[in-house]
Amino acid sequence: MSSESSKKRKPKVIRSDGAPAEGKRNRSDTEQEGKYYSEEAEVDLRDPGRDYELYKYTCQELQRLMAEIQDLKSRGGKDAAIEIEDRRIQSCVHFMTLKKLNRLAHIRLKKGRDQTHEAKQKVDAYHLQLQNLLYEVMHLQKEITKCLEFKSKHEEIDLVSLEEFYKEAPPDISKAEVTMGDPHQQTLARLDWELEQRKRLAEKYRECLSNKEKILKEIEVKKEYLSSLQPRLNSIMQASLPVQEYLFMPFDQAHKQYETARHLPPPLYVLFVQATAYGQACDKTLSVAIEGSVDEAKALFKPPEDSQDDESDSDAEEEQTTKRRRPTLGVQLDDKRKEMLKRHPLSVMLDLKCKDDSVLHLTFYYLMNLNIMTVKAKVTTATELITPISAGDLLSPDSVLSCLYPGDHGKKTPNPANQYQFDKVGILTLRDYVLDLGHPYLWVQKLGGLHFPKEQPQHTVVADHSLSASHMETTMKLLKTRVQSRLALHKQFASLEHGIVPVTSDCQYLFPAKVVSRLVKWVAIAHEDYMELHFTKDIVEAGLAGDTNLYYMALVERGTAKLQAAVVLNPGYSSIPPIFQLCLNWKGEKTNSNDDNIRAMESEVNVCYKELCGPRPSHQLLTNQLQRLCVLLDVYLETESHDDSVEGPKEFPQEKMCLRLFRGPSRMKPFKYNHPQGFFSHR
Amino acid sequence: MERAVPPAVPLGQMEVFQALQRLHMTIFSQSVSPCGKFLAAGNNYGQIAIFSLSAALSSEAKEESKKPIVTFQAHDGPVYSMVSTDRHLLSAGDGEVKAWLWAEILKKGCKELWRRQPPYRTSLEVPEINALLLVPKENSLILAGGDCQLHTMDLETGTFTRALRGHTDYIHCLALRERSPEVLSGGEDGAVRLWDLRTAREVQTIEVYKHEECSRPHNGRWIGCLATDSDWMVCGGGPALTLWHLRSSTPTTVFPMRAPQKHVTFYQDLVLTAAGNSCRVDVFTNLGYRAFSLSF
């Protein structure tokens, strides 16, 4: 079969090759098949399995032939060449067969591939279609959901409720018969109604706006009118000032004062308010004024950066002025001290007028960092006062207000917190600065409403009106009494220095008509001198001779007898009596330690002082005491028992009428004067 | 001279007044209670103060224990003398003698049990009573003072039985002579007079100032204090303190002291005496020398 096929094949091959080259594409397959030997068609007809067998057989034949050729070649011989040639031709035929088989295999492969490819293409096409459809499905689904979710804007509007709608809407909009049944129509109707309402409201709104504009314009006009009024009122007030003065109603002045008062620090403000109130209500002789610079007071409230700038500026200036020298530690400390003791620029001035036209001027200051108030006092009299030498301290600003209340000496700061502040800048006590700053008396703090309780130190002490009010009246009265008693003393001292004890006529009854002992000297002595005297020990030990008192020495004489009297004048005179200590020089030195009668004389002036007070306000106490002292000396000298051993008459004949010269185990002399009988008796 | 100066306390009017009162106070009389626990003291303002001796002398005594338990105004004038019986405190000064119950005296607002005034002659001035003397045997009280008489008062009935006259000036002090009931009185007139209580007459007079050994004219002649031991008597005042033998009325020893003596008492064999304006209590033996002095 192979040789047949190969024979057949050869021409076929030439033909089949030549036919497509010449043929056109138009020719159908059937024509080709009919004319040519198409191997493609042959492939369909042949059985691949048989082809495979053929291939195996052919390979075997080839191997056999080769082996025979090999044999023949190796044996050699002449015949061999023809055998070999024969066999070579057979192998060539086999080679041909193999080639054909190979072609067929290729063709089959190609066909198989083409078929697979076609099928794959179809499948791909379907797959693509499927995907397209799926995609479209998905898309459509999305669209559907979108459509389903769609909310119409009309649902966002809060429509009025159905009942209301049917109530309010006019029938041509609500169209009840149509809308009841059809929700779509109903909603439409409702929307219509909504639109209607909104239109109306918009109208109203426009109207209101225009109204508002109008009214605003009116307000403007009126404002202008009022502002034009203000300067006219001012001018009226100015014009009324003379009328105010004429009628003694200085409203304007008071108003100005209240304006300034707004800048006062709280304690000074409390004082100002309370003092003004008291002056208006109870005491017409009190006048209150504010002094100082309001601008400076305002400047205190500037923000701290400004003040710091000022400080640094001033520091810079200071540096410049001292040129090369830096401010020493002492100067810096000094500045710190000054800063700590700084006063508020405003001060309150109180003027208390007394009956005899003398005036006590009090200026109250506020020390800002220490939170205490101080006062400076000055007394002016209607007529010029000639100050007697001993009266130097009576009215001096430093001491005139000392101990207004017992123990209130005004030399120490009443605020316990200040001590820590002082320690920082090296101030020992405020005493060194009181001359400059004024005295921080306790009553001053109370008038300013400041209370510093000793038991519980408070963090911040706030000015309290009620405290000030409760102390105002008493303090004012005490101040007046103080000034008047000091002035009275002033006058009395002038007389005492001349040796005359000024006893007023309404006190004459306390003394007998004739008083022989005379006051020859009256001087002021220092506290230390008083302490050094030998006959004042008792008073010193009893704690009655403090450094706030004033001390004097009086000398009473009669004949050879000299009586020294050391006087302690308490600032609280005349409610607190002056205390006398006596020393008699006559036939030896007699004091209260060696002569009971001297003691009795002291008792007569010290303990029985109430009889000597005289009519209120008892300014006569001191002079009456001195006069009594003279009387007592008279009695003492005249009743001295005569020493029989000594010859000669008594130096002092007895002129006083006495019932008995001695009485009691201590053999007291009769020192008590009885009025109007005029005799002396014992207590 | 360095002296501790007490700090000046802020003194109001009341404190100053009280301080002055205290400075000028004189205590004239004192008396111990019958139980011995309390001491009554009378001052020149007429006040009587009762002190608790047991508290003040105890080991835990504080400052307050030395202050009076109670003080009250007893008389208008000074309280010059006080004596205690076994139930009463008798005080006298400005012409009256008042009695207080010791049992009641510690309560506030104590009132006097009774008060008596001896019949005085003068009416212009009420004479003071300087000395009180109890005569236990007769249960009577002898008063003497400004009217120069000795009055005896019966303590039960309160009547004044006798008035012994003789002094020419007021009487300072009294002393009782136990054995023969006689009273000695010393006065401003410088005489010590002895009185017999039964007969109510003056028995003996010693004019001390007339004796040169003891008289001190520059001090005066007044007799301030008396003490008697039946045979002996010590008296002093203006004249020097002298020991006398009563029977013979002669001064035996003159005690050497300068200041006029205010109080004197016999104690066993010693003589204790205090001057009043010094801080010492001098103790002497009968022989006249000073043994020692107790000092404040």
Write down the pLDDT at residue B234: 85
Q: What percent of chain B has pLDDT over 90?
A: 0
Which residues, listed in sequence order, are joined to residue A352 by a DSSP beta bridge? A286, A360
Write down the pLDDT at residue A310: 47
Place of tokens 């004197």: B264
pLDDT digits (tens, 9 = 90+) for B181-217: 788 898 888 888 988 888 888 888 888 888 888 888 7
Q: Is the pLDDT of residue B10 over 70?
A: no
Q: Tell me whether residues A543 and B7 touch, CB distance under 8 A.
A: yes
Over range A340-357, report the average pLDDT.
Answer: 85
Task: Provide the pLDDT confidence category of residue A308 given band limits of 50, 70 and 90.
Answer: very low
Kindly give the pairing relationship between strand A561-569 and strand A579-585: antiparallel
* Residues of A whose CB is below 8 A from B220: 641
Q: Is the pLDDT of residue B102 over 80?
A: yes
Distance from CA of A440 to the nearest CA of B (A): 17
Chains A and B form CB pairs within 8 A to the count of: 103
Write down the pLDDT at residue A222: 94
* Residues of B whose CB is below 8 A from A639: none
Over range A51-64, report the average pLDDT.
Answer: 90
A574, amino acid identity = S
Higher pLDDT, B155 or A177: B155
Distance from CA of A497 to the nearest CA of B (A): 27
* Residues of A whose CB is below 8 A from B130: 664-665
Q: Report the chain B residue with the minimal C-alpha distance to residue A536.
A: B23
* Residues of A whose CB is below 8 A from B80: 664-665
Greatest mean pLDDT among A117-126, A409-418, B30-39: A117-126
Write down the pLDDT at residue A146: 93
The angle at the Cα of A17, spanning A16 to A23, to the nearest 5 degrees, equals: 80
Distance from CA of B103 to the nearest CA of A (A): 29
Q: Are B257 and B244 in contact (CB under 8 A)?
A: no
Q: Report the chain A residue with the minimal C-alpha distance to residue B216.
A: A645
DSSP A161: P
Q: Are A592 and A598 in contact (CB under 8 A)?
A: yes
Higher pLDDT, B135 or A175: B135
Task: Provide the pLDDT confidence category of residue A56 given band limits of 50, 70 and 90.
Answer: very high
Q: Tell me whether residues B13 and A543 touch, CB distance under 8 A.
A: no
Q: How far is the C-alpha of A224 from the C-alpha of A240, rounded, in Å?
A: 25
Residue in A311, A312, A305, A271 with CA at minimum distance from that of residue A290: A271
Q: Is the pLDDT of residue A642 over 80?
A: no
Q: Is B123 part of the contact surface with chain A (CB cutoff 8 Å)?
A: no
Over range B242-260, report the average pLDDT.
Answer: 78
Over range A156-180, report the average pLDDT.
Answer: 74
Q: Tell me whether residues B146 and A544 touch, CB distance under 8 A.
A: no
* Residues of B whose CB is below 8 A from A545: 8
Distance from CA of A301 to the nearest CA of B (A): 41
Q: Tell me whether residues B5 and A540 touch, CB distance under 8 A.
A: yes
Q: Is the pLDDT of residue B253 over 70?
A: yes
**pTM of the full predicted structure?**
0.67
Characterise A148 by phi-psi region: left (phi > 0), alpha (psi -120 to 50), beta (else): alpha
* Residues of B whose CB is below 8 A from A660: 125, 146, 170
What average pLDDT does chain A have?
Answer: 81
Check the CA dihedral A418-A420-A424-A427 and report its sign.
positive
Q: Largest Cα–Cα distance in chain B? A: 63
Greatest mean pLDDT among A216-230, A329-343, A546-560: A216-230
Q: Tell me whether residues A659 and B19 touch, CB distance under 8 A.
A: no
Write down the pLDDT at residue A139: 97
In this complex, which of B17, B218, B262 lies closest to A665 when CB atoms are compared?
A: B262
In order of A275, A445, A595, A641, B71, the CA distances from A603 in angstroms are: 43, 38, 13, 22, 21
Q: Is the pLDDT of residue A35 over 70?
A: no
Q: Tell me whether residues B19 and A543 touch, CB distance under 8 A.
A: yes
Task: For A343-359, give the secondary structure using H, E and C.
Answer: ECCEEEEEEEECCCCCE
ipTM of the complex: 0.83
Q: Tell me whether residues A547 and B8 touch, CB distance under 8 A.
A: yes
Q: Is B263 part of the contact surface with chain A (CB cutoff 8 Å)?
A: no
Q: Report the chain B residue with the minimal C-alpha distance to residue A409.
A: B10
Distance from CA of B232 to the nearest CA of A (A): 23
A164, amino acid identity = E
In this complex, which of B10, B24, B128 lies closest to A407 when CB atoms are compared?
A: B10
Q: Are B11 and B19 in contact (CB under 8 A)?
A: yes
* Residues of A whose CB is below 8 A from B77: 683
Question: Which of A531, A537, A551, A667 to probe by mutation at the B interface, max B CB count within 10 Å?
Answer: A667
Residue in A668, A615, A613, A616 with CA at minimum distance from that of residue A640: A668
Q: How far is the C-alpha of A291 from the C-alpha of A294, rounded, in Å?
A: 9
Task: Provide the pLDDT confidence category of residue A450 given band limits of 50, 70 and 90.
Answer: confident
- What is the DSSP code string of A309-347? HHHHHHHHHHHHHTTTSPPPHHHHHHHHHHHHTPBPSEE
Write down the pLDDT at residue A33: 52
Write down the pLDDT at residue B3: 46
H-helix or E-strand containing A59?
helix A48-75
Higher pLDDT, A7 or A478: A478
Q: Tell me whether residues B124 and A545 touch, CB distance under 8 A.
A: no
Higher pLDDT, A277 or A21: A277
pLDDT digits (tens, 9 = 90+) for B271-290: 666 666 555 666 666 556 66
> A369 Cβ partners below 8 Å, 6+ apart?
A339, A340, A341, A342, A421
Place of tokens 């306000």: A617
Q: Is the pLDDT of residue A114 over 90?
A: yes
> B54 Cβ partners below 8 Å, 6+ apart?
B37
Q: Report the chain A residue with the minimal C-alpha distance to residue B10.
A: A407
Distance from CA of A666 to the nearest CA of B (A): 9
Write down the pLDDT at residue A583: 92
What are the start-end ranges of the H helices in A76-182?
Answer: 78-149, 162-168, 171-174, 176-181
DSSP A676: T
Over range A563-571, report the average pLDDT.
Answer: 89
Q: Report the chain B residue with the minimal C-alpha distance to residue A641.
A: B220
pLDDT digits (tens, 9 = 90+) for A189-206: 888 888 888 899 999 999
Q: Are B66 and B75 in contact (CB under 8 A)?
A: no
* Residues of B whose CB is below 8 A from A532: 1
Q: Tell me whether residues B26 and A596 touch, CB distance under 8 A.
A: yes
